[in-house]
Structure 1
């Protein structure tokens, strides 16, 4: 499932390519036909992300709310405006801008090209999700042919965005959107920073629930998924089974501030880079292989990078949890 950094990056792509423009909206698959008819021909006025949910506002005070879930993805085609904070138009969303180096392909076949300096237009095709590979084609027909089960297609005269497989895709009123927002925990990129920290600290310290569960609860904090959960707890040296209400306040604040920093890195680079101080070949290796960018995630049975203890894997609320029993006490 895309974690918070990816959803913010996708939303920024919409802000650059769709906000302020009249949008043709359709549902090739048919499952969103009624909603598409309501939005078709309206101007998009705002693009916003909170955690794993994105909200696209249209004139007339209507919103398109999208939650990609486990299988959702956006495919963009046409003239795609990119800049250093957004994935290259020739790589899948979630790939780093790689600091001006040659393109790096990771072990899943994913890549992005450097996008340093002024924004530029690229004629191409990019898939934006956490689980799918990027596509590139310099000779796309226009409009692009519909491929697969496209729930919603959003088009301007120059750019097309196809949505596939989302958990949620709905037209909502401002009141309905506000109800969703009221259920979500704080997002470091939305709202007042100090207030967000206090909300997080209060939500964790009043609960007897394991911190490993609390970090995945979108009502406690928005945007954290399996990868960030495992890595943040390791970086803080916290046993994931520790109830939130017994964790010292300074450690809880440290968790929040680490999330602020990791989310910033994720949005800027497109990678869930959680290891510190990597440079040169080590940096390139981490960009090329997911297994080299994390402390514990996806390392079950391997020695801890710090103490050599075997990394454990278990299930916590039907999600995989990776942790070091020696470093996290």
Structure 2
């Protein structure tokens, strides 16, 4: 797999990373053994970027990734995220916390759970509306100075916030949802801002939370305990409208003799050398399918066809339930 730069501070990663959230969180039953094998297979296939967060579990995802990477630390880039507040009992508070004291406390727990002495990339998971981003970034910069973190990132931040944070300390990566189903960053100034500032862009959920894989034809195809069962895009008429888009993606993929997932991932990778795709999976079979998308070359005709099939705004329903939407584009 080819490599891409994230920012101008020296961070280089594989064009596709591996999002580890679903290995312990949000997407139904888990299998630690298969998840660890998936991480190991990813390394074999040239994936270097592994993404987790303290809130995934909470904490269990970092612990699992730490076990999977034991003895392999020098081969990988480890990123985690902080800011979705977790109380002293390990429960979610429903708040976002970007206060310096919270960040200083959180990093030590993350490093311990991962079994590493530093993070390669540390993101502010969501922007705290009650703490100036300059204060938050200043505290994160302290972690860089202390050697606990090498590079800083932001997740789901607005263009203005990105500029303000970057003025305090260089930001290497901005992580935001981006796919044929979610093209907001093309129009809200985020992609423009990161490119002007020389920041890399990490596209999470590049398969539209699995919708673009073409494997989900009914909400009944999802496990009983699965975040997507309450996600607006998977509900009622929204689901039916979105399925029509997926069917057209499947048709084009069939013409190219690739899977819908590979077509959707190839589209993300074609959006620029500064874009890194972060598909998540907990199974080796899906991992191998996803990695193969890096070899798919899309023609100008293919890209035009996909623009016609899935223009900005085509997707029905919000990305998250209403109570979570308020923390986006912070």
Classify the TM-score, shorter chain: under 0.3
- Which structure is richer in relative contact order (CA contacts within 8 A, separation 6 or more)? 2
Q: Which has more radius of gyration?
A: 1
User: Please, what TM-score do these two structures have when normalized by structure 2?
Assistant: 0.26
User: Please, what TM-score do these two structures have when normalized by structure 1?
Assistant: 0.26
Name whichever structure is richer in helix by fraction.
2
Name whichever structure is richer in strand by fraction.
1
